[in-house]
């Protein structure tokens, strides 16, 4: 029933648009006039035959009403021929034959052909144009344009929908555009290298253009857009370091090298080398970092017993355990394989390193499966951290780190033994095929049940499968790209970290005013942690639990998406504040001002 209702709403939504597209074309109006003219001629022929029927009937001595005459004409022209009214003279039979042949030509040949050509075909085209239009209304503004429908676009759209952002995906192929539209996505039919496409999309009034194709197409797209607008921000994607400068020269405001980002993120999850912190995100003066607990005095202690806040000023807000993020509470016990999520200032984290950086998590080597672009970045990051590693790649003559290269198939037990699987502490799986990664994860977990396995996923839907296969951490290519774009949009208000962990700033809810932070028990009730309070532009980091919150203040929190939902449900009837809902248009104005400044430079 619900699906039927949705379909009905979807249909009603597009009917006015279909009529608009149908009648705005001059050719459609001309064809409609021709169709009407044909119908009038057909009606004239029918009435003429009805009149002649009366004349010939009287000639034969038959008496029939005008209704009977119209009935006979329609029955004969449509070739039904019931035979209840017939002529007996040769003249009547000749007339019947003429009416029959005329009906065959008009009703069975010309009418369907004319209807299809002059009305039905334009109607289908209008339907397609309504579902995948070529232009946007002139008043459209603050919208986000995406140049390719892929896994990154899907992940980004989910986030945009959650915050009610207006978006369009530009699809050059009409059939593909219609298929994607039927899936519920907002699409535009047009070629991304055509300036007229971007003019019709009101690109000069857009909030952001995401060029998420390959670097060559993205360069063309960016250069084309810059001919029309110097102000609209453009984010481009690439998988090669050499293309970064070219995309910036073309006019991109931000270039994202996802291979580099993925490789660095995979290495941050490695519990090897020292126990020093690894920065994963920043929010104004706040820094978010991760640090392994292995081989440190923290193992076996609760958060209260570590006294980490008193010693360093760092706040432990969460713990990763075998790929699962756990909200940290005062009685949470730190285990050998725990990775701590830390929040503090640069100075706080330096104090933490002075205290814990002297400990070594492990000196065991790391095995990198796959020597592609991501694998090369992983190897470089491991070398910088002075962690021993081997790369397993079936291709011979690997350009990067040939002395670490083991030639062979990663699914071959002998090859893995040669790479040092028996002694390795961690396996990092880097190929770009999710099926391969799931297979290798399951295989390595079977061979070494205690080993740390970190795997890359291209599609979000495979993250859960990788964890079930035995991955301690699985990072999504598409989520990483979507988070980077969203962080650019939300700069200064929200930062999305790995696995849905976010830092966000909100207006002080009335229910929290005039109360001490410790009395609110926000962490226990929602899973969020207050890591900062802002007042008159000044930020108080790591506020004292006895601080009384004021209405004029804003608070900075860290937590997962689910934690944020619980926060809004508890403190604002399940909805973000009015200021948060209006944030998008203000953020877009700031983004466009920043883009104008960069362009002028």
Q: Which of 328, 362, 396 is the last residue of a domain?
A: 362
Element housing 70 (H / E)? helix 66-77
323 and 382 housed in the same domain:
no
Burial (CB < 10 A; 0-12, 13-18, 19+), residue 167, is buried
Which tokens go with 253?
């405001």
In a domain, 484, yes or no: no
Helix (H) or strand (E) holding 30: helix 26-59
Strand blocks (E) in 266-351: 273-274, 278-283, 286-292, 315-321, 324-327, 339-344
Domain edge (last residue) among 316, 340, 362? 362
CATH of the domain at 278: 3.30.70.1450
Residue 356 lies in a domain: yes
The domain that contains 102 carries what CATH number? 1.10.287.70
In a domain, 492, yes or no: no
Residue found under tokens 């009034």: 205
Q: According to the model, what pLDDT value does residue 14 have?
A: 47
Question: Is residue 485 a part of any domain in this protein?
Answer: no
- Percentage helix, strand, coil, to 5, in the chain? 50, 20, 30
Helix 258-268 vs helix 477-489: crossing angle, to nearest 10:
110
Question: Are 374 and 439 part of one and the same domain?
Answer: yes
pLDDT in tens, 270-300: 876 678 888 888 887 888 888 888 889 999 9
How many structural domains are present in the chain? 5
Query: Is 77 within the bounds of a domain?
Result: yes
Residue matched to tokens 């499968």: 465
Pairwise CA distance, residues 410 & 441, whole Å: 11
Cβ(496)–Cβ(346) below 8 Å: no
* Whether 38 and 58 share a structural domain: yes
112 and 10 in a common domain: yes
Q: In the β-sheet with 187-189, what is the strand arrangement from edge to edge?
A: 187-189, 167-171, 144-146, 208-211, 234-238, 254-257
Q: Where are the alpha helices (DSSP H) in 433-547?
A: 434-447, 463-469, 477-489, 517-520, 522-526
Residue numbers of the chain with a pLDDT score lower than 50: 1-14, 574-585, 587-588, 591-601
Residues in the chain: 601
As a whole number of Å, the end-to-end CA separation of the chain is 57
pLDDT, tens only, 58-88: 989 899 999 999 999 999 999 888 888 999 8
CB count in 10 Å sphere of residue 539 = 17
Of 337, 362, 387, which closes a domain? 362
Confirm whether 19 is domain-assigned: yes
Do residue 149 and residue 117 come from a single domain? no
Q: Both 37 and 158 in a single domain?
A: no
pLDDT at 406: 92
- How far apart are the C-alpha atoms of 473 and 59, rounded to whole Å? 96
Domain membership flag for residue 260: no
Bridge partners of 558, per DSSP, are: 503, 529
CB within 8 A of 157, min separation 6: which ones?
146, 167, 169, 185
Same domain for 522 and 470? no
Same domain, 522 and 585: yes
In a domain, 136, yes or no: no
Q: Rounded to whole angstroms, how far apart are CA atoms 284 and 268?
A: 21
Give the position of tokens 């042949």: 101
Within this chain, do residues 429 and 525 fall inside the same structural domain, yes or no?
Answer: no
Give the residue numbers spanning the domain of 71: 2-131
Identify the CATH number of the domain in which residue 378 sits.
3.40.50.720
Task: Judge if 350 and 374 occupy the same domain.
Answer: no
> For residue 334, what are its two tokens?
């730190």
Q: Rounded to whole angstroms, what are the CA distances from 465 to 155, 454, 501?
A: 17, 13, 20
pTM: 0.71
Do 22 and 114 share a structural domain? yes
Is the same domain home to 295 and 375? no
Pairing relation of β-strands 286-292 and 339-344?
antiparallel
């Amino acid at each position: 029933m619900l699906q039927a209702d949705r379909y009905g709403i979807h249909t009603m939504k597009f009917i006015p648009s279909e009529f608009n597209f149908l009648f705005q074309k001059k050719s459609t109006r001309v064809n409609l006039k021709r169709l009407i003219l044909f119908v009038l001629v057909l009606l004239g022929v029918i009435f003429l035959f009805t009149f002649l029927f009366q004349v010939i009937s009287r000639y034969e001595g038959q008496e029939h009403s005008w209704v009977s005459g119209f009935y006979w004409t329609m029955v004969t022209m449509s070739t039904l021929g019931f035979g209840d009214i017939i002529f007996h003279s040769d003249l009547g039979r000749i007339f019947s034959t003429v009416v029959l042949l005329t009906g065959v030509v008009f009703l069975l040949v010309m009418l369907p052909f004319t209807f299809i050509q002059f009305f039905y075909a334009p109607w289908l085209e209008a339907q397609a144009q309504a579902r995948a239009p070529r232009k946007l209304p002139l008043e459209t503004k603050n919208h986000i344009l995406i140049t390719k429908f892929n896994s990154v676009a899907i992940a980004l759209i989910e986030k945009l929908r959650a915050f009610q952002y207006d978006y369009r995906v530009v699809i050059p192929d009409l059939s593909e555009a219609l298929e994607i539209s039927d899936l519920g996505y907002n699409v535009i039919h047009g070629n991304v290298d055509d300036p007229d496409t971007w003019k019709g999309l009101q690109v000069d009034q857009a909030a952001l253009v995401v060029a998420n194709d390959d670097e060559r197409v993205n360069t063309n797209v960016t250069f084309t857009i810059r001919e029309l607008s110097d102000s609209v921000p453009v984010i481009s994607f690439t998988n090669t370091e050499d293309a970064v400068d070219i995309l910036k020269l073309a006019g991109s405001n931000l270039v994202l090298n996802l291979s580099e980002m993925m490789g660095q993120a995979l290495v941050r999850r490695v519990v090897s080398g020292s126990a020093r912190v690894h920065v994963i995100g920043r929010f104004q003066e706040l820094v978010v970092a991760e640090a392994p607990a292995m081989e440190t005095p923290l193992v076996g202690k609760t958060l209260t017993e570590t006294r980490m806040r008193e010693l360093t000023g760092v706040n432990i807000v969460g713990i990763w355990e075998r790929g699962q993020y756990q909200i940290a509470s005062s009685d949470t016990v730190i285990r050998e394989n725990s990775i701590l999520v830390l929040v503090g200032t640069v100075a706080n984290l330096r104090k933490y390193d002075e205290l814990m950086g002297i400990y070594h998590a492990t000196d065991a080597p790391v095995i990198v499966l796959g020597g592609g672009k991501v694998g090369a970045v992983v190897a470089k990051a491991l070398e910088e951290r002075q962690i021993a590693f081997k790369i397993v790649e079936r291709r011979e003559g690997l350009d990067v780190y040939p002395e670490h290269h083991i030639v062979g198939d990663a699914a071959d037990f002998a090859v893995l033994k040669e790479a040092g699987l028996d002694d390795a502490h961690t396996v990092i799986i880097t190929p770009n095929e999710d099926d391969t990664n799931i297979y290798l994860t399951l295989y390595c977990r079977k061979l070494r049940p205690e080993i740390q396995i970190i795997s890359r996923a291209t599609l979000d839907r495979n993250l859960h499968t990788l964890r079930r296969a035995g991955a301690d951490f699985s990072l999504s290519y598409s989520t990483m790209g979507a988070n980077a774009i969203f962080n650019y949009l939300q700069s200064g208000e929200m930062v999305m970290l790995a696995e849905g962990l976010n830092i966000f700033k909100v207006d002080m809810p009335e229910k929290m005013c005039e109360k001490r932070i410790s009395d609110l028990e926000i962490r226990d009730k929602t899973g969020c942690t207050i890591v900062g309070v802002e007042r008159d532009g000044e930020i108080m980091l790591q506020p004292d639990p006895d601080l009384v919150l004021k209405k004029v203040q804003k608070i900075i929190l860290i937590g997962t998406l689910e934690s944020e939902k619980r926060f809004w449900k508890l403190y604002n009837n399940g909805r973000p504040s009015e200021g948060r809902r209006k944030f998008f248009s203000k953020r877009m104005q700031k983004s466009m001002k920043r883009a104008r400044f960069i362009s002028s430079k």
